[in-house]
Amino acid sequence: MKTKNIFLYVLIIFSFFSCENFLEEDPRALIAPETFYASENDARQAMNGVYAILKNNSIYGQVGLDHFYDNGADIIEPNRSANFVEPIGNYSMNEALADVSIQRMSVSDTWKDLYRVIYNVNIIIERVTGNDAITEDAQTDIIADALFVRGLCYWHITNLWGDAPYYTDALTIDEIKTLGRTDKETIISGILADLKFAEDNLQNSYTGNDSGRASKWAAAIITAKIYMQQKEWGLGLNKCKDIMTLSGLQILPTYAEVFDPLNEYNAEIIWSLDFAKDIRSQFEEGTVKADGTLASAFGNGNWRPSMFNPRLRDEPKKSSERAALSAALTARGESFNGTGLQVASKDFAEKFPLNDLRRPLNVLDNYLGFELNYPYMPKFMNLAIDTSPRFNHSDNRMVFRLADVYLMAAECENELNGPANAYQYIEPIRKRAYATEAEWKLSGLTQQQFREAIYDERKWELAGEALRRYDLIRWGILLDVVQNLEYRFWTPNTNIKPYHVLLPIPLQELELNPNLLASDPTNNGYR
């Protein structure tokens, strides 16, 4: 690796927000650059800062990644027009709109923060490798953690933009600003190498102050997903089997248990980012932050549940009952104080099987006896006033869980050999979803019929978990699915074009670095 005199703390000082356990360091207490990386703790602190960036609104903290992975598919839509979710969800995105940012949510913010993580971890890897102040075991662990995060970010980048700038050395900003796009296949090869080192050297799980760190199984599931993207079904199946048999994780008896906010590190969770209520930044409300924005009065916990929570001004269906609903909520210590910008889509709510035991966690159209205007997704809601106020939730952000792996294994086996041996992987998921064997049992399906059953099962089981558009794209059916949707007020079915499987590189980035257009002057078809 190249040696560059770059100090990480300058880049991450404004990123230590929304922290709990693993991310508790006070940004005002960052040590001076002349002593940074003088110990293992210094390097751990740097990785804490990297995880903090992952929890920004542009990535996992609100609905940054959700915009691409869920909006504009067949599961989620907002309950009203909203300028920061409309361009992607309604397929009206262009290079200029990619730069429009509200509360650090835009295509541009996601691009910048993913690359900000990569920039930081490259420096961490360089400064930790061969550092005499850090034991070899600690070096390996820190580097494995950094390589996982780098692989994760490049995986998202290739999913969102395809070919993209790719570098693994600690480059200077000036060097980075001249990079062109590397082909996706080359980046994927690098991702797989990063993830292999991470899987080989990370632990099975982390607890206590390390809760929220990704384990080896988080690396394994991304690897399996990449193999499936490449249609390497045998490799994907083997990786899924490793997770199912060696991880110690298990499918919980009921669907509701998976989303219990009091058991956020349950036995089905592969990786979940931890958040805490009332963890504040170093900025007072109204002061100007480094990015030019004003510090707000909001807490810095998880914002995402507020996007799924209803807002009282929209509910209930009979507006004359609003006061009664408000009183009923207050009596329970609850409030409809969310935004309602992530609700179950019309198509999803109408098609979700009525006898499926997962439906009440995915489609809520009546609450406390009041008929609601919109169907909400309660598995991500948190209405508690005292413990989970608006934009200040302590709820973890679930990223990967074991049920996904079982369905991945079923798909791989079916693609390899047909459905005969694939039922064993889909059945544990369906058994807890239906009351009787007659309802959950599948048999006698052709390979294509089983493939279509997987399409549906992943839709019902993993709804709203930032996987749907990714699945539809890799199956090659996004266009067909969206063109047959009925939305409440958008028209994605008429707007969508084949190139919408990717996002445009934001205009600001193109102006700063014209080399980004060298290999593709169309910018993924957007010009």
Tens of pLDDT, residues 129-158: 999 999 999 999 999 999 999 999 999 999
Note the pLDDT tens digit of each residue in 451-466.
999 999 999 999 999 9
Cβ burial 285-309 (10 Å sphere, 16+ → b, else e): eeeeeeeeeeeeeebbbbbbbbbbb
Q: What is the mean pLDDT of residues 214-243?
A: 98
As a whole number of angstroms, the distance between CA 367 and CA 369 comes to 5
Structure confidence at residue 33 as a pLDDT band (50, 70, 90)? very low
Average confidence score pLDDT of the chain: 89
Out of 91-95, 288-292, 407-411, 474-478, pick the least confident. 288-292
Query: Is pLDDT at 30 greater than 50 in this prediction?
Result: no
Residue 415: phi and psi, rounded to 5, are -70, -30
Q: Give the number of other CB atoms < 10 A from CB of residue 483.
A: 12
CB 219 within 8 A of CB 195: yes
The residues that bridge with 366 in the sheet, in sequence order, are 371
pLDDT attached to residue 101: 75
Out of 23-27, 232-236, 355-359, 431-435, pick the least confident. 23-27
C-alpha separations of 481 from 70, 305, 472, 473 in Å: 13, 27, 8, 10
Structure tokens at 84: 């920061």
Structure confidence at residue 265 as a pLDDT band (50, 70, 90)? very high
Q: What is the mean pLDDT of residues 407-423?
A: 98
Residue with the larger pLDDT of the pair 493 and 392: 493
What single string gives the DSSP state of each residue in 67-136? HHHTBTSSSEE-SS--TTTHHHHTT---TTGGG--SSS-SHHHHHHHHHHHHHHHHHHHHHHTT-TTS-H
Q: Which is it for strands 269-273 and 397-401: parallel, antiparallel or unpaired?
A: antiparallel
Domains and CATH numbers, the chain: 8-278+502-517 (1.25.40.390), 304-378 (no CATH)
Cβ burial 377-391 (10 Å sphere, 16+ → b, else e): bbbbbbbbeeebbbb
Cα dihedral 287→83→306→380 (10° resolution):
-140
Structure confidence at residue 391 as a pLDDT band (50, 70, 90)? confident
pLDDT attached to residue 489: 85
